[in-house]
């Protein structure tokens, strides 16, 4: 049986789909995003842990005021132990607050490699316990 439809090719018709260069550029952009995310996501999760420790200290102090810097350090140590992040103890500082009580600060920097430059990401947060 012979088909009634004829297939014709039109020369000079517009190309459908993307080019090889477009695909390469897309992969480069996606790769760069993944490269930065692989470094940034762990830093962000670390900062969430540090923030949660500070929130726990503030909540504990709100429930039952702590009598001294040793008690504040005890809560920090306990929270870091629970989160298995004892390596973060050096980012915390407990000092007397100007208006009484204590000022608990978490401050540190982490490098973020952006290939063309290295950026220092600063994390800084303080809470005041009265």
Segment 26-80, tens digit of pLDDT? 999 999 999 999 999 999 999 999 999 999 999 999 999 888 899 999 999 999 9
SS3 119: strand
Q: Is residue 32 part of a domain?
A: yes
Question: What's the whole-number average pLDDT of the chain?
Answer: 88
Q: Is residue 13 part of a domain?
A: no
- The model's confidence at residue 16, banded by pLDDT at 50, 70 and 90, is low
Confidence check: pLDDT of 11 > 80? no
Confidence check: pLDDT of 13 > 70? no
**Percent above pLDDT 90 for the chain:** 74
Rounded average pLDDT over 9-35:
81
Query: How many domains, the chain?
Result: 1
Q: How much is the pLDDT for 101?
A: 87
User: What is the distance between the alpha carbons of residues 4 and 47, in angstroms, rounded to a whole number?
Assistant: 70
Containing domain of residue 50, as a range? 20-129
SS3 60: helix
User: What is the distance between the alpha carbons of residues 17 and 80, in angstroms, rounded to a whole number?
Assistant: 53
């Amino acid at each position: 049986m012979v088909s009634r439809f004829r297939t014709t090719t039109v020369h000079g018709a517009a190309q459908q789909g993307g080019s090889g260069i477009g695909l390469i550029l897309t992969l480069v952009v996606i790769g760069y995003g993944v490269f930065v995310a692989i470094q940034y996501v762990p830093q962000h999760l670390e900062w969430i842990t540090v923030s949660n420790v500070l929130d726990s200290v503030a909540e504990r102090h709100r429930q039952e005021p702590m009598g001294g810097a040793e008690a504040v350090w005890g809560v920090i140590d306990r929270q870091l132990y629970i989160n298995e992040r004892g390596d973060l103890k050096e980012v915390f500082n407990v000092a007397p607050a100007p208006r009484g009580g204590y000022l608990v600060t978490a401050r540190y920097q982490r490098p973020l490699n952006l290939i063309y430059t290295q950026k220092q990401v600063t994390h800084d947060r303080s809470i005041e316990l009265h």
